[in-house]
Amino acid sequence: MAGGLKEVRERIASVQNTMQITSAMKMVSAAKLRRAQDAITRMRPYAEKLQTVLANVSASLDTSEGPYSRDNGDARTLMVVITSNRGLCGAFNNNVIKAAKVAMAGREMAHVLPLGKKSFDAFKNDASKKPVGFADDVWTIFDRLSFEEVRSIGDAILTAFASGKYDRVELVYNRFVNAAMQVTTVEQMLPLKPEAVVDGEPSAQQVEYIFEPNRAEIVNGIIPDSLKIQLYKAILDSNAAEHGARMTAMHQATENAGELLRDLRISYNKARQTVITTEILEIVAGSEALDS
């Protein structure tokens, strides 16, 4: 029984150490989440409004005026799969990778542009999924996250689409809702989609636009920059969602460790009581034997 008590003591010490680690990771993720949440909260209204304007403008352009509006189907698709660099965040990364694989099913050609180490690891051994024309270390974007870094990736994506290498570009990422909720999203980035008619309002095609300074500058300047902002927003969404998912996962792990610790202490106390009772019985039995 002494050996059993020692084993339980060791397990209690191990769970206590694990509990300290998960609790510390929860606090670190909470601090990072506040900064990431502030970033996406500031960016999202601007990006969403800009995306609406972008859809309206693209609807008024024909294919010759808008190279980002041409729609040749989805036979050749570039999937921009955004995950985290690290794990310990529940199903955060698995949900994105699974959604990307489902979206790619049945496509004649589907290449993956991984942003995040987990995405890179999931597809690195599949040569048929490797995109051409992108830097080999593009997946390390979260090591140096900034709009300037995202802009260079966006330039490469726009060039690949405009040149006809891809017919469609889709973003796959976790959209941040709150610390406990992330929504896995598959979002079309290219070609631009005209805004849909809502509640009988005129569609974008029925609206007359005045372009200043001219159509060419709108197409060549504003639309590409707007698309890069859309990409940046998706990356910031994923970044905030990652820290929320990790904080939630570490909170749950800490609670589970606490419950396991209570069970182990109860088991230890029961085993210890059994040892004490056995020793008392042996003493009493020995005393009675001497008296007789």
List, by residue number, the catalytic residues: 89
For residue 143, count other CB atoms closer than 10 A to its CB.
10
Contact 66, 77 (CB under 8 A): no
Token pair in block for residue 97: 């990778």
Token pair in block for residue 170: 């889709």
- Non-local (6+) Cβ contacts of 4 within 8 A are 271
Token pair in block for residue 157: 């994506």
Token pair in block for residue 138: 């593009």
SS3 readout for the chain: CHHHHHHHHHHHHHHHHHHHHHHHHHHHHHHHHHHHHHHHHHHHHHHHHHHHHHHHHHHCCCCCCCCCCCCCCCCEEEEEEECCCCCCCCCHHHHHHHHHHHHHCCCCEEEEEEECHHHHHHHCCCHHHCCCCCCCCHHHHHHHCCHHHHHHHHHHHHHHHHCCCCCEEEEEEEEEEECCEEEEEEEEEECCCCCCCCCCCCCHHHCCCCCCCCHHHHHHHHHHHHHHHHHHHHHHHHHHHHHHHHHHHHHHHHHHHHHHHHHHHHHHHHHHHHHHHHHHHHHHHHHHHHHC
